[in-house]
């Protein structure tokens, strides 16, 4: 049976070119990059070349890149690292952040920033919520469940006003953004984005799982999560996962190179999906923002339909889709993202996430919608 994978927001296969670049570091160049003999130093050089490449794609300096085991660790390093560096301070996180931002925030003084029905952060409300002890604001670039893109530049403008008011005596006011879902389709130049910290994730950009990095703008103060030999400039100890880092760098490079063409192509697929869906099943509701959406994520509510059952039936017909974030798939808790955009429990239980990627074709979309409409008619 034909298999059509529509869950690229949950996982991507490794690009064969990425895997090819990783392979020497499993075998011939297995040396510890901290070893001082020549073969060790060659591995160190490859690692630092990868860091420079990631930095370049983010418009950053190599010293501003800390490699982590995935975006979850990067998000934890950002939130826990900063909150531990500034005791008794406060963190504000948007209500639609990934659990790896929300959960660490809960261990500190924290507030959740409300979002509109389209999932967009309310900047006026956010501004009012920022007290003098707020040190960190965390707003993801692309939401992983509904695809909404946040107005980071407007947030930065507002933060810059507040920073000016604080003056040099006040606390810093950092902006972190989880960009795990962004690199295939968005510019990640950190200065243009205006962020102080940015998390990226290899596992969503055709690189290895649990590869990731945190951009930490020079001067930002934070404490490491994982201590030891002092690797990653003291911010993430542990013998570097060389192959994984090489893979992340290659994956990011390819993603950014393919970005303009893929953003356009995948946005057309999403549009085709929406248009066909609205013809065949007009009751369906597309969640998120029509105007500010990532091209690859589409959240749809099918009123009256049980999403678990529909997902299983689609699976039986070769279509792999998600009921929400894979991270929550095992749990029975309703999606906090859909709840934050004011969907009620019945609507949440009737929602599916379709997400597209490099191997998704127009024919896949057509086949998916044919299958979907057959199931929905029964």
Residue whose CB is less far from its own copies, 18 or 121? 18
Minimum separation from the CB atom of position 238 to its own copies (A): 3
Minimum separation from the CB atom of position 5 to its own copies (A): 8
Minimum separation from the CB atom of position 272 to its own copies (A): 23
Per-residue burial over 305-337, b if 16 or more Cβ lie within 10 Å, else e, is bebeebbebbeebebebbbbbeebeeeeebbbb
Q: What does the alpha-carbon distance between residue 100 and residue 69 come to, in Å, rounded to a whole number?
A: 13
Tokens 């500010």 belong to which residue? 292
Q: Which of 355, 365, 319 is nearest to 2 (CA)?
A: 319
Q: Which of 139, 134, 135, 84 is nearest to 107 (CA)?
A: 84
Q: Which of 340, 357, 339 is nearest to 348 (CA)?
A: 339
Q: Which two tokens stand for residue 313?
A: 């039936």
Minimum separation from the CB atom of position 243 to its own copies (A): 7
Contact 320, 7 (CB under 8 A): yes
Residue whose CB is less far from its own copies, 171 or 226? 226
Q: What does the alpha-carbon distance between residue 61 and residue 151 come to, in Å, rounded to a whole number?
A: 25
Tokens 């794609």 belong to which residue? 57
Give the distance between the most distant pair of CA atoms in the chain: 68
Residue whose CB is less far from its own copies, 3 or 283? 3
Q: Which of 322, 252, 332, 241 is nearest to 30 (CA)?
A: 241
Residue whose CB is less far from its own copies, 76 or 301? 76
Residue whose CB is less far from its own copies, 189 or 209? 209
Q: Which two tokens stand for residue 310?
A: 């529909």
Which residues make up the interface to its own copies (CB under 8 A)?
A: 3, 7, 10-14, 16, 19, 26-28, 30-32, 34-40, 69-73, 75-76, 98-101, 103-104, 107, 203, 208-210, 225-231, 237-244, 308, 311-312, 315, 320-323, 325-331
End-to-end CA distance of the chain: 21
Residue whose CB is less far from its own copies, 27 or 164? 27
Secondary element (H or E) of residue 351: strand 351-355
Minimum separation from the CB atom of position 264 to its own copies (A): 25
Minimum separation from the CB atom of position 230 to its own copies (A): 7
Among residues 11, 17, 327, 345, the one annotated as catalytic is 327
- Whether 327 sits among the annotated catalytic residues: the reply is yes
Minimum separation from the CB atom of position 326 to its own copies (A): 4
Residue whose CB is less far from its own copies, 70 or 147? 70
Q: What does the DSSP assignment read for 213-251?
A: EEEE-TT-----SS-SS-TGGGTS-SS--HHHHHHHHHH
Tokens 């997902």 belong to which residue? 311
For the annotated catalytic residues, the residue numbers are 327
């Amino acid at each position: 049976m034909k298999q059509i994978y529509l869950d690229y927001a949950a996982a991507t296969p490794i690009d064969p070119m990425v895997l090819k670049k990783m392979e020497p570091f499993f075998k011939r160049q297995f040396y510890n990059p901290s070893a001082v003999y020549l073969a060790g130093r060659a591995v160190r050089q490859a690692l630092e070349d990868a860091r420079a490449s990631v930095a370049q794609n983010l418009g950053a300096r190599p010293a501003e890149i800390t490699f982590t085991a995935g975006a979850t660790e990067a998000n934890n390093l950002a939130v826990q690292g900063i909150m531990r560096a500034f005791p008794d301070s406060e963190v504000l996180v948007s209500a639609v952040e990934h659990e790896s931002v929300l959960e660490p925030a809960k261990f500190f003084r924290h507030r959740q920033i409300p979002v509109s029905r389209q999932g967009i952060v309310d900047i006026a409300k956010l501004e009012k919520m920022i007290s003098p002890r707020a040190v960190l604001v965390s707003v993801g670039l692309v939401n992983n469940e509904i695809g909404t893109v946040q107005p980071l530049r407007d947030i930065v403008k507002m933060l810059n006003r507040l920073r000016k008011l604080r003056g040099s005596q006040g606390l810093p006011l950092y902006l972190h953004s989880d960009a795990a879902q962004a690199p295939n389709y968005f510019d990640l130049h950190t200065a243009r984005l205006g962020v102080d910290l940015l998390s990226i994730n290899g596992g969503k950009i055709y690189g290895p799982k649990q590869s990731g990095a945190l951009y930490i703008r020079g001067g930002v103060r934070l404490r490491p999560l994982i201590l030891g030999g002092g690797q990653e400039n003291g911010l993430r100890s542990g013998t570097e996962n060389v192959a994984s880092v090489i893979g992340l760098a290659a994956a990011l490079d390819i993603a950014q190179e393919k970005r303009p063409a893929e953003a356009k192509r995948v946005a057309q697929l999403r549009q085709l999906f929406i248009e066909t869906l609205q013809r065949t099943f007009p009751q369906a509701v597309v969640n998120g923002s029509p105007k500010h959406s990532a091209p690859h994520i589409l959240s749809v509510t099918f009123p009256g339909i049980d999403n678990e059952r529909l997902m299983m039936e689609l699976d039986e017909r070769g279509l792999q889709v998600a009921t929400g974030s894979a991270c929550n798939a095992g749990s029975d808790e309703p999606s906090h993202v859909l709840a934050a955009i004011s969907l009620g429990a019945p609507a949440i239980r009737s929602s599916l996430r379709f997400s597209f990627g490099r191997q998704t074709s127009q024919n896949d979309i057509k086949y998916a919608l044919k299958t979907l409409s057959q199931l929905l008619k029964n």
